[in-house]
Chains A and B, each alone.
Chain A
Amino acid sequence: MKIIVCVKQVPDAKDVRLDPETNTLAREGVQSIMNPYDQHAVEEAVSLKEQLGGEVTVLTMGPPQAEEVLKQAISCGADHGVLVSDRAFAGADTWATSYTLAKAVEKIGTFDLILCGKQAIDGDTAQVGPGLAVRLGIPFITCIQKVREASETEIVMERMMDDGYDVVAVSYPALLTVVKDLNVPRVPSLKGKMKAKKAEFTVLSAADIGAETACIGLAGSPTQVVDVFPPKPRGERSILTGTLEEQIEQLAEKLAVYL
């Protein structure tokens, strides 16, 4: 079984600040981590490999330092890492990113399954996984919360819904996006960390994957971010006190103003 896992390096949400002058994310001095949903995707890929055999390739698009997330995946049991990195990719929205990743997957070659986190915690779009599947012309199932059974030919899963879950089966090739309920990501092993330290990754440029210049980076991105701003602080708040009856009375008085 050949599995590709798409991962993204994101700023640690515990450490995120906005630059008060530019109103953009202050990335300097902020710790980078593997997108938490992607950690669950890596874990599932590695446990599927342990169960069915095969290999796991981790794929990321980002600057050279994004190698860190590939190393983390290797230390948790993935076999290979591919970094798609080129200045020309900078400023890509989800449209350009899914195009770029699709080109990279075509370059990697055959696969049975692609796993992605449901969404990245920085952009929060949840579009790249499905976008990639559409570009590759393969089925996708989002928000997988449990794998019930996996074999060489198909995988049966639970897809999280607002009011419960659907049971879905799909044959390969397919793309799945996963939620955190799926599994508990393992702690990297000592052997894995040593392997990661020595690991060398395939680095692919725009030319290597045969990407058209008009389709990548800022130029290939129909979405333009016009402004980023923190939400305005809420208006005045007050806490009602007294017995329940008194509080209801006070509330009614306050609401009456709006009638």
Chain B
Amino acid sequence: MDYFLSEEQDMIVEIAQQITNERIIPNRAELDEKDEFPREILNSMAQADLFGVPIPEEYGGFGGGCMEIVLALEQLGRGCIGIGTAFAASALGIYPIIISGSEELKQKYLPPVAEGKKFAAFGLTEANAGSDASGIQTTAVLDGDEWVLNGTKQWITNGGEAEIYTVVAITDRSKGPRGASMFVVEAGDPGFTCGPKEKKMGIRASSTTELIFKDCRIPKDRLIGRKGTGFITVMKTLDSSRPGIAALGLGIGQACVDEAASYAKQRVQFGKPIISFQAVQHMLADMAIQLEASRALVYASARHIDAHPKDMSKVSSMCKVMATDMAMKVSTDAVQVMGGYGYMREYPVEKMMRDAKILQIYEGTNQVQRNVIGQELNKEYSRK
């Protein structure tokens, strides 16, 4: 379907497509098998300016919006959402600075990320603060000209690989949600270390670690925005980034339809290619319907978000739920269409099905997304 992309958007798609076809697809199985971080592939994305897409032009980026990042991530996701996640997490890590950072923080941190010379990561989740972010234990206390951070972040994407970390910590527990603040921590800051790489079911090319702060001292001016605005920044960050996760779901969905349909055309049983059997045709048809409907919602949501509307949270949650539930369903069905072959590691859909699961979990579980949508509906209808 024609989604009327601009010439610049077409260019982003072409570049991401070429990286996916030439660099990601030939290497994804090995990176998955070895739990290996895709440093070289990320470097080729940097050379192609993809890291600059979400960063404003005045800081060396391309000044793209949600739609541009969605288009890039959809293509990367078609190849491997582990690699797509590493890329997306760097954008996620830098959003708090774009959204709430001081001019000095922007000048310092955005240009090297735009050029792809430095990677970023976003640190929110903790052992007791997943869906309920109010359970955060990590603290930051001002001591003279320095903030002192203590606590442990869990399951942080790009942990150990990023140079720039944006981290949420409690600065005043008595103030509840208004007592959280965001900070920039750099790799190598005293008292900051990353834990060992977690062993995961999927997206194994991406790195996931703990961030450990033990009397970690950082300069006073690393506070992002004003003290106590941490949660607002987090919410705005996630509202902007969730469509990107939806886009990774579109990528998996497209790859699964491609793999399953071409397999079904070749695979002969009972003397016919299995695509000629109605049972298989209907599965493929349902996969294609769900994929295209998700794509339409994700693109429409991304364009809507780029107009900075008031109902950003609801729209961003809706497209995340739909496209990632679709990715799980469609990848499961792709394995089913391909039968025993689909279950084998020699074929790519086995990895896609393992990978798809995380999309329903990270950047807010799909249950939490439904809460957000439900609460927004509740508010809307109490006004009517």
List chain A residues, Cβ under 8 A from B48. Answer: 186-190
B263 at the interface (CB under 8 A from A): no
Residue of A nearest to B72 (CB): A190
Decide if A191 is an interface residue (CB 8 Å cutoff): yes
Q: How far is the CA of A189 from the CA of B12 in the complex (A)?
A: 9
Asked if B44 is an interface residue, CB under 8 A from chain A, the answer is yes
- Nearest opposing residue in chain A for B22, CB measure: A187
Number of A-B contacts (CB under 8 A): 36
Q: Interface SS of chain A: helix, strand, loop or mixed?
A: helix
Which one, B49-57, B140-148, B281-289, is touching chain A? B49-57
Contact with B along A185-213 (1 / 0, CB 8 A): 01111110110010000000000000000
Does A186 lie within 8 Å of B47, measured CB to CB?
A: yes
Q: A190, B12: Cβ atoms under 8 Å?
A: yes
CB-CB < 8 A to B7: which residues of A?
197
Q: Which of B8, B22, B23, B47 contacts A189 (CB 8 A)?
A: B47
- On chain B, the residues within 8 Å of A190 by CB distance are 11-12, 15, 48-50, 52-53, 62
A189 proximity list for chain B (CB < 8 A) = 15, 47-49
**In whole angstroms, how far apart are the Cα atoms of A16 and B11 in the complex?**
26
B15–A194 touching, CB < 8 Å: no
| In-complex Cβ contact of B14 among A186, A191, A193 (8 A) | A193
Interface size range on B against A: 10 to 19
Chain B residues contacting A194 (CB-CB under 8 Å) are 8, 11
Instruction: Using C-beta atoms within 8 Å of the partner chain, give the interface range for chain A.
Output: under 10
Q: A193 to chain B: which residues have CB within 8 Å?
A: 11, 14-15
Closest residue of chain A to B19, judged by CB? A187
The 8 A-B pairs with the shortest beta carbon distances in the complex, nearest first, are A190-B49, A189-B49, A193-B11, A187-B48, A189-B48, A187-B18, A187-B19, A191-B49
A residues with CB within 8 A of B: 186-191, 193-194, 197
Other A-B contacts than A188-B14, A193-B15, A197-B7, 8 sampled, CB-CB below 8 A, are: A186-B44, A187-B44, A189-B49, A190-B48, A190-B50, A190-B52, A190-B53, A194-B11
26 A-B pairs, CB-CB below 8 angstroms? Answer: A186-B44, A186-B47, A186-B48, A187-B15, A187-B23, A187-B47, A187-B48, A188-B14, A188-B18, A189-B15, A189-B47, A189-B48, A189-B49, A190-B11, A190-B12, A190-B49, A190-B50, A190-B52, A190-B53, A190-B62, A191-B49, A193-B11, A193-B15, A194-B8, A197-B7, A197-B11
